[in-house]
Amino acid sequence: MQVLFLASEIFPYAKTGGLADVAYSLPRALENLGVKVLRAMPLYQKVPWEGLVPLEKTLQVRLNGRPYTFRLFRKDNHFFFEQPELYDRPYIYGPPGGSYPDNDLRFGGFCWAVAEALGAGLLSADLIHANDWQTALYPVLHREIYRFPQPVLFTIHNLAFQGMFEKESLVRLELPWSLYHMEALEFWGKINLMKGAIVFSDAVTTVSRTYAQEILTYEYAYGLEGVLFKHRHKLHGILNGIDYQLWNPETDPHIYQNYSLRDPSGKEANKQAMLEELGVAAFFAEKPLFCFINRLSHQKGVEVLLSALPDLGRVNAFFIFLGEGEYGPQFYGLERRYPNMFAQIVFDEAWSRKVYAAADYILVPSVFEPCGITQLIAMRYGTLVVARRTGGLADTLVDVSYPGGYGFLFPDPTREDLLCGVKRAAELYNTHPRHFQKLRQRVMRLDFSWERSAKAYLRLYRSLLKGKR
């Protein structure tokens, strides 16, 4: 079986978020199961040229009334589509806080170029797997323009970003007006690329079972609940995983001291080293250490977190906040206001690993969470999770109040519920230290590796290839 995996970003070549990690790890896990996976992405400015081999044939794609020439480069099983006018820019999607105004052409053009490459025989596949709005036009082209025979799978990683553009983009993308109707791309007077992918793909997956149920409702679907409900027969929830080789406290070169489930003593050594580095070990070495490692955005519950800061300042624990985003300025000088807090508002992956290794608890108060990998990484490092019960968080955590539980879940993204979760966690740490250590061992035994997810995708691939929807 040969699969063509389309994504706008793939680690280590381009990364702005979790999609790049999925596009790196899932194909690798599928290859371990015997699937040949070809990856395709645009050739951005910052992709290193070393090892890229050009294919002789170029591709012509017509966009906005004129031809664009694409060149195709290969490195192992990765294919890069070069179009300097579209992709030779300092950012993948646009400058911080914004988007390039021609992103419809940039990513729609990529989808056209992929289809042209398949038609020309430069790429071949038994099945095509597209991801998120940037490749959402591909299923539309595959079914309605090229009418290729292979099945197409589309994965929704985050329904909040749908690829919506003014209806004039239909002309810019050289699409027929026959696609501008309620059963295709039209969406409240605009075009919606993700809607098109949902309609024209043979199967649609999202990144957790609970999120697959949530996006059928008004609260989570951002206007697409009707479309998703109509096509619910082809909707599947497959939980993401993490790469257990990339995230391994036993071998991680960035943390203060390596440790493992067999020898967890290094976990406490990491905490002590972190507190010493911050100059607070004398005051908080025996207290629980909480952390927040995520984007400082609405989705991640940062407004709730900010509203709770005065109350958290009275909790006998230390809090570390690491991330960047729209709410970053509100964390400046946090340690001057609250002696039990520290914030670093520039994301640093090496330092984030130190925090994962040092912390007793991680806070994940997300408003919505399609899957989330923060909690999976934390548990891999023996850090317990205090989280809102939503999406992938609900699928990966069991509250400690249940037999076999290991997390601290709260129902709503409110200051009161977050504080309740924090206080429950702090109380267990302070009053039941042996039980706390057992919970730490329990989360380190859990398996959220990509192997399990890849097996679920392989079953779905085989089902689609047999003609089942």
Q: In 3D, which of 166, 184, 40, 162 has the Cα closest to residue 112? A: 40
Quick one: which H or E segment has residue 436? Answer: helix 433-445
CA atoms within 13 A on the CB side of 119: 16
Contact (Cβ atoms closer than 8 angstroms) between residue 125 and residue 4? yes
Contact (Cβ atoms closer than 8 angstroms) between residue 82 and residue 43? yes
Contact (Cβ atoms closer than 8 angstroms) between residue 92 and residue 16? yes
Question: What's the Cα-to-Cα distance from 379 to each of 180, 444, 457, 463, rounded to whole Å?
Answer: 46, 6, 24, 33
Residues paired with residue 243 on neighbouring β-strands, in sequence order: none
- Give the chain's largest Cα–Cα span: 70
Q: In 3D, which of 109, 145, 152 has the Cα closest to residue 5? A: 152
Q: What is the dihedral of CA 88, 92, 98, 104, to 10 degrees?
A: 80
Residue 467: partners with Cβ closer than 8 Å, 6 or more residues away:
none
CA atoms within 13 A on the CB side of 222: 12
Contact (Cβ atoms closer than 8 angstroms) between residue 147 and residue 119? no
Quick one: which H or E segment has residue 304? Answer: helix 302-312
Cα–Cα distance for residue pair 396/332, rounded to 1 Å: 32
| Three-state secondary structure call for residue 225 | helix
Contact (Cβ atoms closer than 8 angstroms) between residue 202 and residue 236? no
**Token duo for residue 220:** 């989570």
Sign of CA dihedral 73, 134, 195, 137: negative
Sign of CA dihedral 424, 430, 435, 439: positive
Contact (Cβ atoms closer than 8 angstroms) between residue 130 and residue 197? yes
Q: Is residue 466 part of an annotated ligand binding site?
A: no
The gap from C-alpha 310 to its chain's centroid, in whole angstroms, comes to 31
Contact (Cβ atoms closer than 8 angstroms) between residue 153 and residue 205? yes
Cβ count within 10 A of residue 441: 12
Contact (Cβ atoms closer than 8 angstroms) between residue 330 and residue 306? yes
Q: Residue positions in the annotated binding site?
A: 15
Q: Residue positions in the annotated binding site for ADP-alpha-D-glucose?
A: 15
